[in-house]
C-alpha cells in the first residue's frame, strides 16, 4: 500500500490514534494504533506515518478528531491537545488537510459499512427517507447524523454529548444529584462515557472499579456491576430516543464508541430498548426504528477515508 498511497487518514481519539494510508481503490494499508500517552503530540504521529509512505508520499490527509471543528484551531475535548489546521498542513508538507469531528466521520462511514460490520438490535425496515443517527459512549459521548432529503445525504456534526442531562427516575436523580454536588451542572457525557460509568458505579454500589472491570464483572454475573450497567443502559436508551426524535432518525440508529461496542452483550437484556421507546406519544414511531451496534473496529477511520476519497474525486 505504501507505494500507491494517495492519502493519509487518522482517527484521533482521547486515548488512541488510529492511522492508515489509502489509495483511490478504497484499500487501506499500514494500519496502526498509537497510544496517545506514548507520543509528544499529534504532529509526531502524522509525520512518522507520512515518512513511512515510500516511495510516494501522500499530499492529502483527512483526520477524524474527538472534538469540535469550527475554526482554524482544533482542541480535543478529552485530551490536552490542540493544533492549528493551517500550521499542521504546512508542517506536514500537505497540499490539503481535512479535519472533521470523529462522529461526523462515523456518519460518513454509515453508507459503506457492510452487514457484517453491524450487529442488529431492533432489525425493522428502515425508512428510506429517514435520517441516520450515530451516537455512543467512549471517552466522551459522540453524536452525528446523516441527513437525507437532497440529491446526496449531508453529514451533520453535533456536540449533543454536552447537553444538560436531567433525571427520569429516582435512581437517575440520585446519581445526577451526586454528580451535580461534586461537579456542578451535569452533561450527558458526565454519565454516558467511560468515566461516567465509573462514577455511577461508585455512587450506586460504593465500589471503585475501572470501566473494563465493571464490564468484565457484569459479564461474569456480578450483581452490583450488572446493576450499574443496567442503569447506564437505561440512561443511554432514553438519550438515544431523545436524539432519534430530535433528528428524525427513522433511517436507523447506529451505536458507536468504544464503550458502546464493549457493552454489546448487554443491550438485549438491559433496559436500553424499553427506555429508547418510552417517549409518549411516540412509542410506536420509535419502536419502528432499526438499531444497530457498529462492530467495525475503526468506523471513524472509514469515515475519514470516505472524506478523503470525496476530495480525490473532486480534484
CA distance 36 to 14: 8
CA distance 220 to 213: 10
Which segments of the chain are extended strands (E)? Answer: 7-12, 16-22, 28-35, 60-65, 73-75, 82-84, 96-101, 118-122, 132-137, 141-147, 154-158, 252-255, 291-294
Query: Dihedral (C-alpha) 238, 240, 245, 250: value to the nearest 10 degrees?
Result: -130
CA distance 230 to 275: 11
pTM across the whole model: 0.90
pLDDT in the model for residue 1 = 45
Query: Dihedral (C-alpha) 190, 196, 199, 203: value to the nearest 10 degrees?
Result: 80
* C-alpha distance from residue 256 to each of 27, 200, 211, 262, 264 (Å): 22, 21, 17, 10, 10
The answer to whether the beta carbons of residues 51 and 62 sit under 8 Å apart is no
- Strand, coil or helix: what is 254? strand
CA distance 223 to 204: 12
The answer to whether the beta carbons of residues 157 and 101 sit under 8 Å apart is yes
Q: Please identify every stretch of the chain with a pLDDT value under 50, giving residue numbers as ranges.
A: 1-3
Amino acid at each position: 500500500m505504501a507505494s500507491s498511497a494517495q492519502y493519509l487518514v487518522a482517527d484521533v481519539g482521547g486515548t488512541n490514534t488510529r492511522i492508515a494510508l489509502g489509495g483511490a481503490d478504497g484499500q487501506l494499508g499500514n494500519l496502526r494504533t498509537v497510544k496517545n500517552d506514548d507520543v509528544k503530540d499529534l504532529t509526531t504521529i502524522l509525520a512518522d506515518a507520512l515518512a513511512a509512505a515510500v516511495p510516494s508520499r501522500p499530499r492529502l490527509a483527512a483526520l477524524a478528531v474527538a472534538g469540535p471543528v469550527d475554526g482554524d484551531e482544533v482542541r480535543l475535548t478529552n485530551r490536552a491537545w490542540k493544533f492549528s489546521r493551517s500550521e499542521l498542513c504546512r508542517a506536514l508538507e500537505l497540499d490539503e488537510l481535512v479535519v472533521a469531528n470523529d462522529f461526523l466521520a462515523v456518519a460518513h462511514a454509515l453508507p459503506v459499512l457492510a452487514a457484517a460490520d453491524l450487529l442488529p438490535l431492533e432489525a425493522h425496515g428502515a425508512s428510506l427517507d429517514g435520517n441516520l443517527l450515530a451516537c455512543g459512549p467512549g471517552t466522551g459521548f459522540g453524536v452525528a447524523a446523516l441527513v437525507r432529503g437532497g440529491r446526496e445525504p449531508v453529514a451533520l456534526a453535533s456536540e449533543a454529548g454536552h447537553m444538560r442531562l436531567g433525571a427520569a427516575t429516582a435512581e437517575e436523580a440520585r446519581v445526577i444529584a451526586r454528580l451535580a454536588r461534586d461537579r456542578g451542572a451535569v452533561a450527558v457525557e458526565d454519565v454516558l462515557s467511560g468515566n461516567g460509568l465509573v462514577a455511577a458505579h461508585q455512587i450506586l454500589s460504593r465500589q471503585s472499579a475501572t470501566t473494563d472491570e465493571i464490564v468484565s464483572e457484569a459479564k461474569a454475573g456480578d450483581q452490583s456491576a450488572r446493576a450499574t450497567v443496567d442503569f447506564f443502559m437505561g440512561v443511554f436508551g432514553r438519550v438515544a430516543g431523545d436524539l432519534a426524535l430530535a433528528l428524525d432518525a427513522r433511517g436507523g440508529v447506529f451505536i458507536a464508541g468504544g464503550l458502546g461496542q464493549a457493552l454489546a452483550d448487554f443491550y438485549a437484556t438491559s433496559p436500553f430498548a424499553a427506555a429508547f421507546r418510552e417517549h409518549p406519544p411516540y412509542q410506536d414511531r420509535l419502536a419502528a426504528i432499526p438499531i444497530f451496534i457498529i462492530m467495525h473496529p475503526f468506523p471513524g477511520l472509514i469515515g475519514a477515508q470516505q472524506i478523503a476519497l470525496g476530495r480525490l474525486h473532486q480534484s
